[in-house]
Structure 1
Amino acid sequence: MSEPLPFQSIHRHGLVRLAAATPAVFVADPSANARAVLELAQQAERDGVDLVVFPELCLTAYAIDDLLTQQALLDSARSALARIVTATERMRAVLVVGLPLVRNGRLYNCAAAVTQGRVLGVVPKSFLPNYREYYEKRWFAQGVGITDETIELGGVEVPFGTDLLFRAANLPDFTFHLEICEDMWVPQPPSIRGALAGATVLCNLSASNITVGKADERTTLCAAQSMRCAAAYVYAAAGAGESTTDLAWDGQGSIFELGEEVARSERFSRQPQLAIADVDVQRLRLERIRTGSFNDAAVAAGHPEREFRRVDFTLPLHEKDVGLRRALRRFPYVPHRAERLAQDCYEAFNIQVDGLIRRMEATRSKCLVIGISGGLDSTHALIVAAKACDRLGLPRTAIRGYTMPGFATSEGTKANAWKLMQALGITADEIDIRPAAEQLLKDMDHPYARGEKVYDVTFENVQAGLRTDYLFRLANHHHGFVVGTGDLSELALGWCTYGVGDHMSHYAVNCGVPKTLIQYLIRWSVESEQFDAATDAVLTAILDQEISPELVPADASGAIQSTESAVGPYALNDFFLFYTLRQALTPTKIAFLAWHAWRKDGTGRWPFGFPEERKEDYSLAEIRRWLENFVRRFFATSQFKRSAIPNGPKVSSGGSLSPRGDWRAPSDGLADVWLAEVAQVPRK
């Protein structure tokens, strides 16, 4: 068994570097076009690219009409291909180029896959446009139905047909399929069957002249195809140099992964271009595993994997750090598109509001009971409840908020709790839990009751438990129900007390919302003026506080109990959670992505409008430390709490932890497999 690749290698983590190429075009000059292709191929080689997709008929140019049937041109195109084949002997990447080829007395519009001095195979275009400005049937035969055939190139018989998949023998999840331009525009593109047969990367060699609005149409089709097929989609269109006798060209190059555009070239550029991205083919395979309907579609389609021939090649793997050509979101749960910011936040917030409204209607309760601490979670639950009452036409006094100071409650958070309740106009009250807590500790003969400063878990949970007892009995007394405040991040880490307020309630509006998103939604509610100025001022003050359960008194220096010092930064924990829950990645790979996202010179992107003063970076050592903590808490110690959580709405496509929804796991599971993975992460 071979040694694993170094941690820094993108190939170790199932990533493949793809490029959509837009070379300079020389009309009806295959020799010059081959030179242009090789110039970009050399640039891709320097950039560590694994697969480069060039445009349709890039060795001849597309818009040359009847010149396509001239023997001199066809011979020159074959010579240009041979030149490229020879040049790839000294390259590691796979090149996919377009050219016209004659076989059995018919001319085909073809895509040829070339690597390491050989042609892997040739795929003819399936569907030929012959409408409006297109006349391809004048010159070409269509490729539909051509399977199990070969074509002679340079004295070698090469696989030829629409039934080819190209598979990297030493990188199991990297298999690509080829289709050409119009093939993407038909109701059932050939790449659908290619994906169902196992291709994770779908490539389209296109010429595609540009008209007003057409770029958006291409983007929509590519995005939809990559999403529908759980695949990457590489699209390369012809650009500068194509004949403008009757048409124009914009050189649109794009790469998509599961519906998201991860790279694009500049349109209408006069310079050759490469749009490069590292695509996660391992993630694509895992997505297909989890989405059972993908396999159902393959069965319904008659098992397309039986129709395809697989052409294997060996990809020289990166052993060194070649960087990461992939934009990563430091906060994957947080809206990140400036143009969709308001819409995404509106949806997230109103999913919670709508869930609470339905529960209010179903229970016919007379009030909502919430414990208000002055911290993030109870604050967000309260503004969700306030908005629910507004939508139902109920007075906000139907919300009964209680602040319940304990042994470590600070004046600042208590004051903020009162200011928030008063600003929102709810029914507010205060219950001092210290006398009851002291009595309970005394009854237990706890050291604290004897005057000793013992602040153990019992001391903490006596306070947390009493607050919950009061809330449930108050709900009984006032014919209402308790609105839970615990969030998704706390459930993931088990940073909640079993059966207590941050774990148990009658309805948990925050259970599908991670801490980083709660912070962002509160900020959005201020910026979008969801409430009045007085409320906004309190919300802003709450955002500026350090996250603390405030169950243990401050130390001699005045430092308060810090949640993130105990369980790690929520920024990292939410990153770990997203890639564990939504994508099922290994801890080693999560560490690799976090390293690139969170280091100072990495590719991590901050959310739109994130406060400059809160930006910070994390080293690989810090990432490893907190990832180990996360893995142990998530897989080994916390599931029994998640198996008993109350109802609450799923908010993010990043997943929820409801045992009735996204996540089902044994409460007595072990974390050894995942901890062994963490042990493979370098300490620096």
Structure 2
Amino acid sequence: MNNMFIKVCSLSPRIELGRPMANVKLILKEIKKLETKNPHFIVLPELCVTGYSCGDLFFQDYLLNENDKAIKYFLNNNDYNGIIILGAVYVHRNNIFNCAYVIYKDQVLGIVPKTYLPNNKEYYEARQFASGAVLGDEVIKVDNYNTTFGRQLFYEQSKDVTFGVEICEDMWAPISPATYLTMAGAELIFNLSASNEVLDKDDTRRYIIKSFTQRNKCAYVYASSGRFESTQDTVYSNHCIISSLGNIVNESTLFDNDTVTLLGDIDLGQIKYLKRKDATNREALKLYFDNVLSSSINCAFTDDNFTFESPVSRTPFIPEDNHKEAYKKILNIQVASLARRITHVNVKNVLLGLSGGLDSTLALIVLYKTFEYLNMDKEGIKLITMPGPGTSERTLRNAVNLAKGFGLDIETIEITEIVKKELELLKHDMNNKDITYENTQARMRTSILFKKANQLNGIVLGTGDLSELALGWCTFNGDHMSNYSVNSGLPKTLIRFMVEAFLQYEENVNEILIETLTDILNTPISPELSGKDQKTEDIIGKYEIHDFIMYRFLIAGDSEDRIDYLLHHAFPELSKEDRKYYLKTFFHRFFSQQFKRSVLPDGPKVLSISLSPRSDWRMPSDIKYID
């Protein structure tokens, strides 16, 4: 199976300025060291064969001849089973071009010349080099073999990846060559650079690359030369960056005293999925597909010994860093959305059924913050707890203490007797704790909330989350229904994160809240409908695993086989049978429960995906999952 991950390497080697043969020998040694990691692609800095800072020596036959000899030596001695992108000069029609050689073993797949030549301040490239913009579609000879010369797309068949190349200044242009390449279908861009270092330039460089990969739905691998270039007037920092879809996958430190080897794994499957979904990308493909040369190669890559450079995250919805900032941003989205709904319907009262569980706890935090944001009287926060036959003392106590911790009143409405009467009307045995028994309780709570909202001229705040919506773990027209569902954009793992973050980052959290929230976080998740020992994760499995599957399915568009592959790496404790169970459970429930999502109450989108039938997820309710 093609696992749809591409291992890339940004390699910034020690060089000896003006000594091409010595440089390619050193580069070959560094590449040899990478055979245990087996990156599919290795990109090196701009003009790394000669060194970038040779000045007018680029005009001289001796340096140009040495460059050609070094390239020939490299081709004759390169047995690495991967694509190497090497910076060197190429002379064509008496013009010198600053180029990227795209190499597989002894074959030059194509040569890409630099388009934009910086010619101001410390840079005078137009003095020595010609721009690739003057070229048409060219076929040239390198070491007696024909190859393409010019801006072009490359396609590697075994990994099903389309890639392109640009060089240093090209990236800084208003419309870079890589922009056209990605619009024509490139999923991966390589940049060979010799970018000097001045104060804060690394921040700008990083921002440009991250922004490019976000806008163009691609990955970008950047390799810049280091301090071994001339420092006559400027210094180079060997900055290497790997970015994908707006994120930094890996990045080097600056001014390393030796060769820099930076590795990273690119999720090609996710890139392809997002490109397929992007209507703007499809329009661009129509315009630019025919405007570049294309070359194809089959490197016969296999994934038999593939290892990830970083562990596969078990909780991909949770940000890896900047937790406080993420907490504030998520909370602000929820608060702003609820504030708009409250002001639109012009009510002073919002009703919340408080169960003592995670979801209603976060809903209360959002509701409290919204009333603060709107400067509303907090007497309008109407909390109701409705213990029934399956309610535990622990959750009831936590619901009451939670209200107390926020300084709010809470009304208790016991539903056990009402439920008994309803079941008697249905001639249903109270000892038969089936779906009717459970759903009667859930719908009774919702019915009470809506009736109370009518009584108080208020609205009912929903508490259900994205994980419950994906799995259909809610009662149709019970907890499934509300006037506004403030948690519907957050999966269960992120709900837990938000409650933990409230404890960690909010100021002046009193002792009652600290104790109560800590206990809520430690309480097993349960609907408490069939008995006090009922645990959701004993029935459907762990939310952490279902959230992982949901992330891979909705955000990366993965097949079951690929999700199974990633589950194996993220949750090695799961057996093959366990993984199969989770996948079957998730997909069976996801397909069969679409009817609940088709009539979903309004609620804010928080992440890049949601399950709203009005926006992100449109799927028929009567489609079957193929096992």
What TM-score comes out, normalization by structure 2 length? 0.97
Which residue identity lines up with residue 375 of structure 2 in the other structure?
G
* Alignment partners' CA distance in 2, 1:245 and 1:619: 60
Equivalence for 2:100: 111
Q: CA deviation at 1:17?
A: 1.3
Does the Cα contact within 8 Å between 2:185 and 2:285 map onto a contact in 1?
A: no
Q: Distance in 1 between matches of 2:352 and 2:433?
A: 26
One-letter amino acid of the counterpart of residue 35, structure 1: K
Residue identity matched to 1:132: K
Tell me the equivalent position of 1:418: 400
Inter-partner Cα distance in structure 2 for 1:119 and 1:156: 8
Q: 1:624 aligns with which of 572, 575, 580?
A: 580
Q: Partners in 2 of 1:316 and 1:266 — Cα distance? A: 34
Q: CA deviation at 1:296?
A: 2.3
Q: Contact (CA 8 Å) 1:398, 1:426: kept in 2 or not?
A: no
For residues 589-600 of structure 1, the aligned pairs below 5 Å read 589-599=562-572
Match of 1:464 among 436, 439, 442: 442
Secondary structure of residue in 2 paired with 1:329: coil
Whether contact under 8 Å (2:184, 2:284) holds in the other structure is no
Instruction: Tell me, yes or no, if structure 1 residue 540 matches structure 2 residue 530.
Output: no
SS in 2 for 1:648: coil
Q: 1:515 aligns with which of 492, 513, 520?
A: 492
Contact 1:405 1:414 in 2 (8 A): yes
Matched, 1:447 2:425: no
**1:577 counterpart residue number:** 550
Q: Please report how far the alpha carbon of residue 618 of structure 1 lies from its aligned counterpart in structure 2 after TM superposition.
A: 4.2
Work out whether residues 526 and 535 of structure 2, in 8 Å CA contact, stay in contact via their aligned partners in 1: yes
CA RMSD, Structure 1 to Structure 2 (Å): 1.5
Residue-by-residue CA offset, 1:146-205 (whole Å, 9 max, x unaligned)? 12112322122321112x211112332x11111111111110100111111111111110
The alpha-carbon deviation at position 457 of structure 1 amounts to: 0.9
Q: Give the distance between the partners of 2:366 and 2:303, measured in 1 at CA.
A: 50
Measured against aligned partners, the alpha-carbon deviations of 1:484-511 in whole angstroms (never above 9, x if no partner) come to 111111010000010002x001111111
- Find the residue that maps to 1:152 and give its secondary structure: strand
* Alignment partners' CA distance in 1, 2:231 and 2:340: 60
Deviation at 1:531, TM superposition (A): 5.8
- 1:230 paired residue number: 217
Please list, as runs of the form range in 1=range in 2, the aligned pairs for 1:235-314 lying within 5 A after superposition.
235-299=222-286, 303-314=287-298
Paired AA for residue 647 in structure 1: D
Question: Alpha-carbon deviation of 1:358?
Answer: 1.1
Instruction: Determine if the alignment matches structure 1 residue 189 to structure 2 residue 176.
Output: yes
Residue identity in the other structure for 1:124: P
Contact 1:45/1:93 (8 A) holds in 2:
no
Unmatched tracts of structure 1, length 5 or more = 6-11, 555-559, 600-616, 676-684
Cα distance in structure 2, aligned partners of 1:585 and 1:209: 40
Aligned to 1:606: none
- Take 1:433 and 1:143, find their aligned partners in 2: how far apart are those partners? 77
- Amino acid aligned to 2:589: R
SS in 1 for 2:257: coil
2:613 alignment partner in structure 1: 659
For 2:408, the aligned partner's letter is I
Instruction: Tell me, yes or no, if the aligned pair for 1:21 and 1:274 is still in contact at 8 Å.
Output: yes
Q: What is the CA–CA distance in structure 2 between the aligned matches of 1:76 and 1:398, rounded to whole Å?
A: 81
Q: Deviations over 1:424-462 (max 9, x none)?
A: 2223111110111111112222122xxxx3211111111
Aligned length: 626
Corresponding residue to 2:333 among 337, 346, 351: 351
TM-fit CA distance, 1:621: 4.0
TM-score, normalised to structure 1, is 0.89
Aligned equivalents of 1:417, 1:409: Cα separation in 2: 11
Whole-Å separation in 1 of the counterparts to 2:620 and 2:567: 27
Alignment correspondent of 2:202: 215
Provide the rounded CA distance (Å) in 2 between the counterparts of 1:580 and 1:118: 39
Q: How far apart in 2 are the matches of 1:335 and 1:319? A: 28
- 2:352 counterpart (340, 349, 370): 370
The residue number in structure 2 matching 1:19 is 9
Equivalent-residue separation in structure 1 for 2:394 and 2:148 (angstroms): 74
Give a deviation string over 1:316-338, Cα, whole Å, max 9, x none. Answer: 2224132122453322222221x
Secondary structure at 1:365 match in 2: coil
Go from structure 1 to structure 2 and tell me whether the alpha carbon gap of 1:530 and 1:518 turns closer, same or farther (over 3 Å shift).
farther
Match among 612, 626, 634 for residue 590 of structure 2:
634
One-letter amino acid matched to 1:671: Y
- Tell me what 1:649 maps to: 604
> 2:146 maps to what in 1?
157
The farther-off stretch of 423-432 and 458-467 is 423-432
User: 1:333 matched to which residue of 2?
Assistant: 317
For the residue of structure 2 that corresponds to 1:624, the secondary structure is: helix
Question: Which secondary structure does the structure 2 equivalent of 1:297 belong to?
Answer: helix
Distance 1:518 1:170 in 2: 40
Question: Which residue does the alignment assign to 1:567?
Answer: 540
- Listed one character per residue, the Cα deviations across residues 244-301 of structure 1 (whole Å, up to 9, x for unaligned) are 22221211111111111112233211221221112122221211111101122344xx
1:475 aligns with 2:453: yes
Aligned equivalents of 2:181, 2:30: Cα separation in 1? 27
* Distance (Å, rounded) in 2 between the aligned partners of 1:96 and 1:455: 66
Shift of 1:220: 1.1
- Match of 2:133, SS? coil
Per-residue deviation, residues 18-56 of structure 1 (Å, max 9, x unmatched): 111111111100011101211122123331111110100
Q: CA deviation at 1:619?
A: 4.7
Residue in 1 that maps onto 2:465: 487
Letter in structure 1 aligned against 2:204: E
Whichever residue aligns with residue 505 of structure 1, its letter is: S
User: 1:620 Cα deviation (Å)?
Assistant: 4.7
- How far apart, CA to CA, are the structure 1 residues paired with 2:415 and 2:303? 60
Report the Cα offset of residue 13 of structure 1. 2.1
Q: 1:121 aligns with which of 110, 116, 119?
A: 110
Contact 1:25 1:240 in 2 (8 A): no
Instruction: Say which SS state the counterpart of residue 134 (structure 2) adopts.
Output: coil
Q: 1:405 aligns with which of 379, 387, 390?
A: 387
